[in-house]
């Protein structure tokens, strides 16, 4: 904990673009994304999957916001809506001071180079018929006017940055292992010097020893290029390592949002506690004495969320009020917000 | 006498690109009632080893070229296929990773459990139906009577995996082989399944082989750990000793690379390099190219799994001089890892 603090303090004066007051790069307010459920030949709308249902958070420039939750909690949809790969149903996304809803198509296109994405499956996100140099060079062709020589130089520089041999630029994705392909995906994401990178479970498909390599690379690049990450993962251990702030999601809503130390040392929401206790600890002695909260049942369907608190169907501490009233978002400590009736106001 | 004794198991796949040496001389014992964790990265041969035991690998291209697997006095690898069928799903239960693809989508859950009983313990249909109901209760499925008539698509991932476990347990197996049964599930559902398996194991007293790549799951569940790398077992140790003092450099690297082993803000320790290419038979230690302690002999000779104490076995030349090197190796491991990528 202390080590992290000193690291942050040491870096602040070195990087000139980081001002004294933390600058908010992305500000999301009451974001909703509902996918319609249609029926019959006329595709009549009969309901909606509430993938993201009223979510607000800020991401500070140069920091990492971790987004954790189970499958179906809406993590990936937030990432995609943020980048406007999905149109939001409601709510605003402010990127670097400008409301993205005001932008025209061409305005949005100008903004695209500043926000990039690293995908989960390194086998599916690279075109198998393109060479590595054309994969990494494609964003450069799209958004910049470079000569092919400049472009090749940039591709070689990027390959070096992500720890791949620049001589392999003319190989095809199938010639690389999973970890190396993820490095190619990262090189493509940083090719246009973006501000924000949405990392959608970038290490979930990799082996343990390779995960550490990729996470280290991402942290190095963050320091080197001043990148801001939205890091989506279901791995609480890795989120603790990489994130500055963490949002815990359940069924399209944020249950708790806090600094990483606050969330892990003092989890307030029953779901956060259950999630933490579900993650097995790689230490047999600790595992034997650890208090385990095992949740009953499954995550409800986002097309018919329960009334009141969405977690009320599985919450071990549920009271009557939870089933009737939707808990309001409250900030109970500086920078530590929670949506739960049971957490006393402080 | 162990319930299962595997010696020198070797499995190859003869493909167009050459022979893949997936499992190279694997030997281990499984004691009665023991939970054995098998860990390793993808391609390390965990699954192929266990599939080979029941001859579930497709032949060709697969070929079990050597070895023995003695289960209750008989060799599973050479016995008659008809006899083997009685073992599969009868005395040895199998749970696969993906519950969606291993259940039949057009047969109800109840019928799938009854099918397994019909093959191994035929009786009156009513009695088997009652047994199926009992099994669903055992694995903690709510309102089991209704669920018997459900099709797999009507159940969630966690429920399907419970059905898989119920089928595997149907005939009271002596050994349960679970191949990454919780990898496809969310952490809260994984916690449910782990608690269930721990409870069942106490109740039924069967031996379990649990294949996983999650070192956290292993810590809370198993008695003994086998670490596989490049189709070989590189370490065989009781779970407490393994986590307290891993002996093989690969085991050390694996445990050190976990985010919980590093304090936040520090760089993660990683194992440099890539997993081995299995297209040539191992002539030297397959971990040597990534090993921070490798010396001449590692590149020339393949170390065999040999006992370093009463309870532990390690396949590493460093352990020829165990006391001196293990004290020194911990320090160098940290020093080497600090370089990062």
Give me the pLDDT at residue A224, please. 92
Q: Does the beta carbon of A278 lie under 8 angstroms from any beta carbon of chain B?
A: yes
Mutation for testing the A interface, residue in B100, B256, B264, B272 having most A CBs under 10 Å: B264
Tell me the chain B residues in contact with residue A3 when contact means C-beta distances shorter than 8 Å: 263-266
The residue from B127, B154, B170 where one domain ends is: B170
Mutation for testing the A interface, residue in B210, B268, B286 having most A CBs under 10 Å: B268
For the segment B215-225, the average pLDDT, to the nearest whole number, is: 89
Q: pLDDT-derived band of residue B297, with 50, 70 and 90 as boundaries?
A: confident
**B75 lies in some domain:** no
Indicate whether B261 pLDDT > 80. Answer: no
- Which tokens go with B3? 């319930």
Q: pLDDT-derived band of residue A4, with 50, 70 and 90 as boundaries?
A: very low
Full domain range(s) for residue B144: 105-170
State whether B333 and B250 are in the same domain. Answer: yes
- Alpha helix positions (H), chain B: 46-53, 81-87, 99-102, 109-120, 125-138, 144-148, 157-169, 187-204, 215-221, 239-244, 249-256, 296-300, 322-337
Q: pLDDT-derived band of residue A17, with 50, 70 and 90 as boundaries?
A: low
- Which tokens go with A344? 């006393």
Mutation for testing the B interface, residue in A178, A283, A301, A314 having most B CBs under 10 Å: A283
Tell me the whole-structure pTM to 2 decimals: 0.81
Instruction: Tell me the ipTM for this assembly.
Output: 0.75
Q: Which string of DSSP letters, residue by residue, matches B89-142?
A: TTTEEEE-S-HHHHS-TTS-HHHHHHHHHHHHS---HHHHHHHHHHHHHHTT-S
What count of CB pairs under 8 Å joins A to B? 139
Lookup result for tokens 């499992």: B23
The residue from B148, B170, B192 where one domain ends is: B170
Q: pLDDT-derived band of residue A1, with 50, 70 and 90 as boundaries?
A: very low
State the total domains in chain B. Answer: 2
Whether a cis peptide bond, with omega within 30° of 0, leads into B109 is no
pLDDT tens digits, A261-277: 999 999 999 999 998 88
Q: Does the beta carbon of A165 lie under 8 angstroms from any beta carbon of chain B?
A: no
For the segment B279-284, the average pLDDT, to the nearest whole number, is: 83
Question: What is the pLDDT of chain B when averaged over all its residues?
Answer: 84
| CA of B260 vs chain A CAs: smallest distance (Å) | 6
Give the H or E element holding residue A189: helix A178-190
Q: For the sheet containing A228-233, what is the strand order?
A: A115-118, A196-200, A228-233, A64-68, A245-250, A253-259, A336-338, A330-333
pLDDT tens digits, B49-87: 998 988 888 888 888 888 889 988 889 888 888 888 888
Q: For the sheet containing A24-39, what is the strand order?
A: A44-60, A24-39, A90-95, A98-99
pLDDT tens digits, A199-210: 998 888 888 778
Give me the pLDDT at residue B300, please. 86
For the segment A78-85, the average pLDDT, to the nearest whole number, is: 90
The domain A2-268 is classified under which CATH number: 3.40.1710.10, 3.40.50.300, 3.20.20.70, 3.40.50.720?
A: 3.40.50.300
- Which tokens go with B172? 């009271």
In chain A, the residue whose alpha carbon lies closest to the alpha carbon of B255 is A282
- Please, which residues bridge with residue B92 across strands? B88, B175
Q: How far is CA B186 from CA A234, A287, A304, B157, B160, in A?
A: 8, 19, 20, 9, 13
Q: Does the beta carbon of A265 lie under 8 angstroms from any beta carbon of chain B?
A: no
Q: pLDDT-derived band of residue B341, with 50, 70 and 90 as boundaries?
A: very low
**B286 lies in some domain:** yes
In chain B, the residue whose alpha carbon lies closest to the alpha carbon of A162 is B341
For the segment A73-91, the average pLDDT, to the nearest whole number, is: 90
Q: pLDDT-derived band of residue B319, with 50, 70 and 90 as boundaries?
A: low
**B72 lies in some domain:** no
- Each domain of chain A, given as residue ranges in start order, spans 2-268
- Which tokens go with A156? 């070689």
Give me the pLDDT at residue A20, please. 61
Q: Looking at A43-52, A217-226, A250-259, A318-327, which range is the least confident one?
A: A43-52
| CA of B286 vs chain A CAs: smallest distance (Å) | 16
- Which tokens go with A263? 């969330």
pLDDT tens digits, A279-317: 888 888 888 888 888 888 878 888 888 999 999 999 999
CB B186 within 8 A of CB A299: yes
In chain B, the residue whose alpha carbon lies closest to the alpha carbon of A217 is B341
Whole-number Å distance between alpha carbons of B130 and B144: 11
Residue of B21, B11, B12 lying closest to B281 (CA atoms): B21
Tell me the chain A residues in contact with residue B258 when contact means C-beta distances shorter than 8 Å: 208, 237, 282
Give me the pLDDT at residue B320, please. 55
Indicate whether A87 pLDDT > 50. Answer: yes
Tell me the chain A residues in contact with residue B158 when contact means C-beta distances shorter than 8 Å: 298
**B31 lies in some domain:** no
Choose among B158, B258, B341: nearest Cβ to A237: B258
Angle (CA) B270 B274 B279, round 5° = 155
Phi, psi of A216 (to 5 degrees): -60, -45
Q: Are A288 and B265 inside 8 Å of each other by CB?
A: no
């Amino acid at each position: 904990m202390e080590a992290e603090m000193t690291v942050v303090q040491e870096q602040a004066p070195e990087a000139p673009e980081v001002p004294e007051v933390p600058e908010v790069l992305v500000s999301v307010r009451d974001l909703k994304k509902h996918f319609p459920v249609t029926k019959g030949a006329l595709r009549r709308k009969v309901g909606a999957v509430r993938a993201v249902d009223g979510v607000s958070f800020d991401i500070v420039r140069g920091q990492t916001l971790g987004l954790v939750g189970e499958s179906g909690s809406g993590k990936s949809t937030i990432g995609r809506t943020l980048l406007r790969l999905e149109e939001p149903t409601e709510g605003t996304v402010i990127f670097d001071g400008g409301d993205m809803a005001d932008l025209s198509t061409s305005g949005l296109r100008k903004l695209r180079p500043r926000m990039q994405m690293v995908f989960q499956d390194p086998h599916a996100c690279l075109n198998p018929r393109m060479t590595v140099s054309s994969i990494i060079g494609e964003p450069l062709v799209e958004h910049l006017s470079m000569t092919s020589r400049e472009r090749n130089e940039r591709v070689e520089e990027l390959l070096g940055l992500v720890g791949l041999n620049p001589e392999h630029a003319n190989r095809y994705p199938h010639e690389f292992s999973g970890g190396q392909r993820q490095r190619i995906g990262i090189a493509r994401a940083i090719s246009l010097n973006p501000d924000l990178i949405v990392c959608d479970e970038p290490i979930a498909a990799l082996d343990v020893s390779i995960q550490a390599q990729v996470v280290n690379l991402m942290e190095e690049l963050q320091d080197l290029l001043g990148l801001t990450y939205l890091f989506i993962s279901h791995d609480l251990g890795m989120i603790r390592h990489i994130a500055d702030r963490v949002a815990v999601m359940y069924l399209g809503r944020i249950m708790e949002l806090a600094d990483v130390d606050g969330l892990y040392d003092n989890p307030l929401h029953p779901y956060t506690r259950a999630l933490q206790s579900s993650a097995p600890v790689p230490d047999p002695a600790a595992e034997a004495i650890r208090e385990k909260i095992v949740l009953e049942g499954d995550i409800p369907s986002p097309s018919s969320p329960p009334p009141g608190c969405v977690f009320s169907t599985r919450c071990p501490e549920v009271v009557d009020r939870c089933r009737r009233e939707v808990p309001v978002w409250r900030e109970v400590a500086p920078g530590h917000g929670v949506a739960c009736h049971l957490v006393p106001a402080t | 006498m162990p319930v299962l004794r595997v010696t020198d198991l070797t499995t190859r796949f003869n493909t167009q690109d050459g022979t893949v040496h997936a499992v190279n001389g694997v030997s281990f014992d499984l004691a009665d009632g023991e939970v054995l964790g098998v860990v390793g990265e993808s391609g390390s041969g965990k699954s192929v080893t266990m599939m080979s035991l029941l001859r579930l690998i497709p032949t060709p291209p697969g070929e079990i070229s050597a070895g023995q697997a003695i289960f209750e006095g008989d060799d599973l690898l050479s016995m008659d296929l008809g006899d083997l069928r009685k073992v599969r799903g009868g005395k040895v239960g199998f749970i696969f990773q993906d519950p969606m693809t291993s259940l039949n989508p057009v047969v109800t859950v109840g019928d799938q459990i009854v099918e397994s009983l019909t093959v191994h313990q035929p009786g009156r249909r009513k009695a088997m139906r009652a047994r199926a109901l009992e099994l669903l209760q055992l694995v903690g499925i709510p309102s089991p009577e209704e669920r018997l008539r459900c099709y797999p698509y009507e159940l969630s991932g966690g429920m399907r995996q419970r059905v898989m476990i119920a089928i595997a347990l149907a005939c009271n197996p002596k050994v349960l082989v679970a191949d990454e049964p919780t990898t496809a599930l969310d952490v809260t559902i994984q916690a449910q399944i782990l608690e269930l398996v721990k409870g069942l194991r106490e109740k039924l007293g069967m031996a379990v082989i649990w294949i996983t790549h999650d070192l956290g799951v292993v810590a809370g569940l198993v008695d003994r750990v086998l670490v596989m790398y490049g189709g070989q077992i590189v370490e065989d140790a009781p779970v407490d000793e393994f986590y307290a003092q891993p002996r093989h450099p690969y085991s050390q690297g694996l445990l050190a690379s976990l985010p919980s082993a590093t304090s936040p803000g520090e760089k993660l320790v990683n194992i440099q390099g890539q997993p081995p290419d299995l297209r040539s038979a191992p002539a030297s230690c397959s971990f040597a190219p990534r090993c921070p302690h490798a010396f001449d002999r590692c590149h020339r000779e393949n170390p065999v799994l040999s006992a370093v104490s009463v309870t532990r076995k390690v396949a590493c030349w460093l352990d020829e001089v165990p006391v001196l090197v293990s004290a020194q190796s911990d320090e160098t491991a940290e020093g080497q890892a600090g370089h990062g990528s």
